[in-house]
Amino acid sequence: MLSRPTLTMALQELAVAVHDIAATSLPSPALGLAAALSIFAAALVRGFTGFGFALTAVPLLGLFMPPTQSVPVAVCLQLLIGLGDLPRASRVCDWSSLRWLTLGGLIGSPTGVLVLSLVSASVARVVIALITVGAVVLLNAGFRLAAAPARWITALVGLAAGLFNGLAGMPGPPVIVYYNAGAFDRVAARASMMVFFLVSSIVATASLAWFDLLDLHIAVLTALGVPVMLVGTWLGDLGFHRGSDTLHRRVSIASLAVVALGSALKGLSDLL
């Protein structure tokens, strides 16, 4: 049995350790509020459209924290909310398209990383932005596919998503265009995008862990962001179920345009 002096010393050491962890891991009130607002905005977009959490959260969080923090926090939150949505999304998503999209994505991601080793990330962002702008123009003009795309076309879309992911960590645009132009109802399209981005976040989380970019500070920020993310997602989901196919399509196109603009500005600012 420990003596009283020994027990007292142990408690003092524990208190000092807890204080040190809190001092280094807990964000300041200003940082916490800014992060909460950023996460809420990204969750609201994702709850309504089925995509856009990381695409929205990373640039917003990046305004006041380095990429080594903003990216892991966004990816971890996306993984958690994706796992939470999986049971419901898996019942209404289009598995026939998801299988081929995932296959193409798994092939395209390492290829994108290889291409990135030959070109700069800023150039890749500008190229992706230009391609995305073209897709936005087509969708806004009413471009639709009369029937579900063939498997090889779906696999090519997944390949493009993987390339985008490897080049700039942005797998979204090809998949968003695919489901908004294809013969999918908005419920199946939204659920399918949720499942696809869950798979992408699992791969991204594994990569972050491999490069030792996940630590206690990231875990604390993620845990603090979960309640805010749940509220934002719930409100976005509520808006989705009360909206229409036309409204969902318009918001999706607008969100895609914002993604393209943000990617272009980021790439150009790095080049200039």
The sign one gets for the Cα dihedral 37, 65, 166, 225 is negative
**How much is the pLDDT for 229?**
93
Gyration radius of the chain's alpha carbons: 21
Q: Which helix (H) or strand (E) segment is 9 a member of?
A: helix 4-25
Q: How many CB atoms lie within 10 A of CB 23?
A: 8
pTM of the model: 0.74
Q: Are 85 and 194 in contact (CB under 8 A)?
A: yes
User: CB under 8 Å to 198, separation ≥6 — which residues?
Assistant: 78, 79, 82, 83, 85, 86
**How much is the pLDDT for 3?**
55
**How much is the pLDDT for 230?**
93
DSSP 46-57: HHHHS--HHHHH
Binned average pLDDT, 10 residues per bin, the chain of 272 residues: 52 43 57 87 87 78 79 88 91 93 87 74 74 77 76 91 75 83 85 89 82 84 91 90 79 78 74 72
